[in-house]
């Protein structure tokens, strides 16, 4: 796996695919600079070597050229984070842009206009990718968030850089973290899968059964497993058509020597509302009119014990409806357990969608080993898929 550390960028122009798809407020100000900060180490490495950077990204989902999605809105945020004045281009391909790129001196940065102003970007157009490739000597992909897309700037452009292409530091870290869980994790390895539905996690569960020693299944998925085994789940979220699949997963786990841990008790509510009446009840005895919305106390203690005996931990999906304060403690306590295990030497990776939001909301970000920056890309990695943006650099 080639990274920026395998290159010296002195007098070279690096064409870097970054993920600057940042949130903007109504005044077009950047409200969260995390993604820019994440790309900083790679950009600084190029500049400190004595090279220059051509940065390319998408922003939002424009239909053609739409001013509100212009990357010029993020100019000051990028300058703030990187600490260097940048040049903002009016497009991402064409003669004028090529001339601007050619004129770059060591230490300078050119930020291209939104790649998705051209439909050829998402179409993975070869001709468009070739035009992008003219803007740099070395291609760096540092955008994990789009690595599962075979777009022109994330995948196809790499074809035009035979040996001179590599992963940026952020993408390399993402790959290493996933490998640590999926390939080389210190045992016992644990995956905690929560979230709403079995149907959206099924490929992950099936893939992960070959990699882990323990699997905690929580959140809304619980009830399909419980009902399939004859339990009463009341009005809890449940996918009846996935019950057979749930039984098959339990069987597969047994054959593969994976210990599955399901909640034993839940905090049930008489309405899907923060103000609902609640009761703690065994997971398989939920009366009609009630629904399980969070883990119960025995479950929290059980999961804490499992988490703290594992050396490698992957967490995807909340254990309850954490968006409502009264049903957030299962997710918060799980976060606490993972933080404690991490402090005691375990490697912990949090990734994919809502668990990242929960980790940020509850302040666990610095207490776990790594929080992934890619939602869809992370989920596809956990499903065992080879991401096109990663394969294009490996080739």
Positions marked catalytic = 35, 197, 353, 376
Tell me which stretch binds ligand AMP (CB under 6 A): 33-41, 152-160, 193-201, 332-340. 193-201
Burial class (CB in 10 A: 0-12, 13-18, 19+), 286: buried
Based on the shown chain and the rule CB under 6 A, indicate whether residue 220 belongs to the binding site for ligand AMP. yes
Based on the shown chain and the rule CB under 6 A, indicate whether residue 196 belongs to the binding site for ligand AMP. yes
Q: Strand, coil or helix: what is 390?
A: helix
Residue 346 CA to its chain's centroid (Å): 20
User: What's the min distance (Å) between Cβ of 71 and ligand AMP?
Assistant: 29
374: left (phi over 0), alpha (psi -120 to 50) or beta: beta
Q: Token pair 């610095």 is at which residue?
A: 366
User: What's the min distance (Å) between Cβ of 342 and ligand AMP?
Assistant: 21
Out of 59, 78, 82, 237, name the contact with ligand AMP by CB under 6 A.
237
Based on the shown chain and the rule CB under 6 A, indicate whether residue 292 belongs to the binding site for ligand AMP. yes
Number of residues counted as binding ligand AMP (CB under 6 A): 16
Based on the shown chain and the rule CB under 6 A, indicate whether residue 375 belongs to the binding site for ligand AMP. no
Based on the shown chain and the rule CB under 6 A, indicate whether residue 62 belongs to the binding site for ligand AMP. no
- Nearest Cα residue to 93 out of 59, 121, 53: 121
Tell me which stretch binds ligand AMP (CB under 6 A): 42-50, 74-82, 116-124, 191-199. 191-199
User: What's the min distance (Å) between Cβ of 389 and ligand AMP?
Assistant: 23
Tell me which stretch binds ligand AMP (CB under 6 A): 39-47, 77-85, 195-203, 247-255. 195-203
Based on the shown chain and the rule CB under 6 A, indicate whether residue 380 belongs to the binding site for ligand AMP. no
Based on the shown chain and the rule CB under 6 A, indicate whether residue 269 belongs to the binding site for ligand AMP. no
**Choice between 156 and 221, CB closer to ligand AMP:** 221
Q: Closest CB to ligand AMP belongs to which residue?
A: 195
Based on the shown chain and the rule CB under 6 A, indicate whether residue 200 belongs to the binding site for ligand AMP. yes
Query: How many other CB atoms are there within 10 angstroms of residue 345's CB atom?
Result: 8
Based on the shown chain and the rule CB under 6 A, indicate whether residue 320 belongs to the binding site for ligand AMP. yes
Based on the shown chain and the rule CB under 6 A, indicate whether residue 351 belongs to the binding site for ligand AMP. no
**Choice between 188 and 353, CB closer to ligand AMP:** 353
Q: Read off the tokens for 228.
A: 């399939």
Based on the shown chain and the rule CB under 6 A, indicate whether residue 374 belongs to the binding site for ligand AMP. no
Q: What is the rounded distance in angstroms from the CA atom of residue 156 to the CA atom of residue 238?
A: 41
Based on the shown chain and the rule CB under 6 A, indicate whether residue 276 belongs to the binding site for ligand AMP. no
Q: Strand, coil or helix: what is 3?
A: strand
Q: What is the rounded distance in angstroms from the CA atom of residue 6 to the CA atom of residue 335?
A: 36
Q: Are 136 and 54 in contact (CB under 8 A)?
A: yes
Based on the shown chain and the rule CB under 6 A, indicate whether residue 318 belongs to the binding site for ligand AMP. yes
Angle (CA) 316-318-321 rounded to 5° is 155
The torsion angle over the Cα atoms of residues 118, 39, 54 and 57, rounded to 10 degrees, is: 0
Q: Please tell me what DSSP assigns to residue 346.
A: -
**Choice between 293 and 306, CB closer to ligand AMP:** 293
Out of 41, 353, 376, 384, name the contact with ligand AMP by CB under 6 A.
353
Query: How many other CB atoms are there within 10 angstroms of residue 146's CB atom?
Result: 26
**HEC secondary structure over 321-367:** CCCCHHHCHHHHHHHHHHHHHHHCCCEEEECCCHHHHHHHHCCCHHH
Backbone φ and ψ for 3, nearest 5 degrees, come out as -120, 180
User: What's the min distance (Å) between Cβ of 287 and ligand AMP?
Assistant: 16
Based on the shown chain and the rule CB under 6 A, indicate whether residue 219 belongs to the binding site for ligand AMP. yes
Quickly list H helices, 50-168.
75-82, 95-102, 119-123, 126-133
Q: Please tell me what DSSP assigns to residue 5.
A: G
Interface contacts to ligand AMP, rule CB under 6 A: 195-197, 200, 219-220, 237, 292-293, 317-318, 320-321, 323, 353-354
């Amino acid at each position: 796996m080639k990274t920026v550390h395998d290159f010296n960028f002195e007098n070279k122009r690096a064409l870097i695919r970054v993920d600057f798809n940042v949130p903007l407020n109504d005044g077009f100000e950047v409200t969260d600079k995390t993604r820019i900060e994440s790309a900083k180490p790679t950009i600084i490495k190029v500049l400190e070597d004595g090279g220059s950077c051509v940065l390319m990204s998408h922003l939002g989902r424009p239909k053609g050229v739409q001013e509100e999605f212009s990357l010029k809105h993020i100019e000051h945020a990028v300058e703030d984070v990187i600490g260097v004045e940048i040049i903002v281009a009016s497009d991402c391909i064409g003669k004028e842009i090529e001339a601007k790129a050619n004129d770059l001196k060591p230490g300078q940065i050119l930020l291209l206009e939104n790649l998705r102003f051209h439909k050829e970007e998402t179409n993975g157009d070869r001709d468009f990718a070739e035009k992008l490739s003219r803007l740099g000597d070395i291609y760096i992909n540092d955008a994990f968030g789009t690595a599962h897309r075979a777009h022109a700037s994330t995948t196809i452009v790499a074809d035009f850089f035979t040996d001179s292409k590599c992963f940026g530091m952020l993408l390399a870290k993402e790959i290493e973290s996933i490998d640590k869980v999926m390939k080389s994790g210190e045992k016992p390895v644990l995956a905690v899968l929560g979230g709403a539905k079995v149907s959206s996690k099924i490929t992950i569960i099936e893939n992960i059964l070959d990699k882990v020693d323990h699997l905690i299944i929580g959140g809304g998925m619980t009830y399909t497993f419980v009902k399939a085994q004859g339990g009463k789940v009341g009005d809890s979220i449940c996918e009846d058509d996935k019950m057979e699949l749930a039984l098959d997963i339990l069987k597969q786990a047994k054959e593969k020597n994976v210990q599955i841990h399901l909640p034993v008790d839940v905090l049930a509510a008489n309405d899907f509302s923060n103000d609902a009446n609640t009761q703690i009840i065994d997971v398989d005895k939920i009366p009609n009119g009630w629904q399980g919305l969070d883990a119960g106390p025995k479950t929290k203690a059980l999961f804490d014990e499992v988490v703290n005996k594992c050396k490698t931990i992957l967490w995807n999906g909340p254990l309850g409806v954490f968006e409502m304060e009264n049903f957030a403690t299962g997710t918060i306590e799980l976060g606490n357990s993972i933080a404690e295990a991490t402090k005691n030497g375990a490697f912990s990776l949090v990734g994919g969608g809502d668990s990242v939001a929960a980790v940020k909301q509850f302040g666990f970000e610095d207490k776990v080993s790594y929080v992934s920056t890619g939602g869809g890309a992370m989920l596809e990695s956990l499903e065992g898929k080879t991401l096109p943006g990663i394969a294009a650099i490996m080739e």
